[in-house]
Amino acid sequence: MVEAPQTAEGWFSLHDFRSIDWDAWREAPESERERAIEEGEAFLKHRELVADADDGESALFSVLGHKADLLCLHFRPSLDDLSAIERRFEDTALAKFTERETSYVSVTEVSGYVSDDYFEAGADAVDEGLRRYIEGKLKPDIPDEEYVSFYPMSKRRGEEHNWYDLEFEERAELMASHGEVGKEYAGKIKQVIASSVGFDEHEWGVTLFGADPTDIKDIVYEMRFDPASSRYGEFGDFYVGRRFPPTDLDAFLAGETVPTGRVPERDSAGHPHGGGGHGDEGGHHGDEGSHHGDDGHGRGEGHDRSGAGGGPAHGDHPHGDGDAGEGDHPHGEGGGHGEEGGHDGDGADDEDIRGELADLDIYAGKPHGEDVYATVLYSEADTEELFDEVEGLRGNFDHYGTHVKTAVYEGRHTDRAAVVSIWDTASAAETAGGFLSELPDIVARAGEESGFGTMGMFYTVKPDYQSEFVETFDDVGDLLGEMDGHVETDLMVNVEDENDMFIASQWNAKEDAMGFFRSDEFSETVQWGRDVLADRPRHVFLA
């Protein structure tokens, strides 16, 4: 018997496609239409706020063409949660003006093509980057205000080409090749693949998100020429639309372009007006103002962000389809770990450390009036090979205004290199990590190797002082080696610019590192650095 890949499942998914009965809508009294809008908006807001479950995601899209008018997309931990959503919608005044054209039920999935170690030895056996990638695939975030394309697909079981007759190694090779096409769309396309085997007519449901709808067309077109699709792919109907906030429901029904970009009115308590409705879908949305954006699309700071798109769009997906950047407006900008902070830090720790360094007359502020965020992964691969891989990704990252810089830094005292990707927002840096985790021989992620990890600051040295700066660091390194709580420190140098470098340092605890920052030796180094640096050190947060 041919070996079936192991699978892991996450959230259940419902794609609910609705059409509007426009004749009934036009003929309805104004008061009835107002009630339908109020109750529909309230229902949809509650879904986006996930007021009906402990976890999940929801989004509303307009759909182009004759197949439907609206798509309500829901991810929830259980099928029962989705069933409750269906019933509650039918209890709204809006439901009588809609007809369900079709729906699709599935569950998010990763398979054995991603990582044998993950299935054989468990999540702790894989590196942090891959683990976050897998978590992002199983519990996906939905991009904000992006175009969407949904289609179901199956693997062919024909007389000449039967996917399920192929050996595992051959299937894995085909999917790896498929993934290489997807990598070309890093930062342009995010995808969610969910298994519908036993749930619906096809075997998988594929949802693609992108800021430019032609990118969606292009990735599907290119993949049609790949053998995994050309020989073995069978597809259902395609649906295309664009996300808009529930507060624009009235504009959508009035024939206006959505999203409108307007900010909803707020009451005296700061909550968006939401109208009446009955039951728990009524006009009280007291939890809306706490951690979500004005239009209900925002993300709270507690959401973990992970790469989950841009890779193979069809079927059993290999490790290789993380998403990066998510356009120029990623979901919230929740605080990441401070650049001086360990993996258990938070925003308050970041500010505390900045304050302490400032009190010591050590620059710890913003370089140009803004915060930036970094994802840093360490690799033991050959530096030239690593740089070639990074250069390809960087070309895609540069399409996004939130991208500041991505570079490879070589260690001087360690046998590894660092890949650093800096972004204007924490979520963009975090999702870029989904792609970077695919790079060869990744062994660690900054901030997660010890009790307290510090990135130091990014330094740009005047060329005439480069060698002197390096020698001075070596002297400081000797001092570090004698300090309690010190684990490892290295001065890492940009392979493209020897004058651009940063210090990566590991400590047992925050207080151990702060003891060094308070030392006279470090203070003297800081004062000397003011003369040899071409610019002030760039202080970043780890995403």
**Would you please indicate which residues are annotated as catalytic (active-site) residues?**
151
- Contacts by 157-160 with C-beta closer than 8 Å and gap 24+? none
DSSP state, 55?
Answer: S
79: phi then psi, degrees, rounded to nearest 5: -65, -35
Which sign, positive or negative, has the C-alpha torsion 71, 77, 79, 83? negative
- The β-bridge partners of 99 are 19
Contact 312, 127 (CB under 8 A): no
Contact 211, 324 (CB under 8 A): no
Contact 147, 211 (CB under 8 A): yes
The 3-class secondary structure across 36-47, one letter per residue, is: HHHHHHHHHHHH
**In the numeric block, which tokens belong to residue 401?**
């205004």
| Residue 287 to residue 401: CA distance in whole angstroms | 32
Q: State the DSSP H helix or E strand holding residue 170, giving kind and residue range, or none if neither.
A: helix 168-183
| SS3 state of residue 8 | strand
Q: Distance between the two ends of the chain, CA-based, in angstroms?
A: 45
Instruction: Compute CA 172 distance to the chain's CA centroid, rounded to the nearest angstrom.
Output: 25
Contact 501, 472 (CB under 8 A): no
| SS3 state of residue 476 | helix
Contact 436, 129 (CB under 8 A): yes
Strands 373-379 and 204-210: unpaired
Closest CA to 281 of 532, 132, 84: 84
Quote the crossing angle between the two packed helices 347-359 and 510-517, to the nearest 10°: 20
Contact 138, 8 (CB under 8 A): yes
Spell out the residues 6+ positions from residue 136 whose beta carbon is closer than 8 angstroms to its own: 304, 305, 306, 307, 308, 322, 434
**What number of CA atoms fall less than 13 Å from residue 284's CA on the CB side?**
4
Q: How far is CA 7 from CA 55, 124, 125, 292, 319, in A?
A: 21, 17, 16, 33, 13
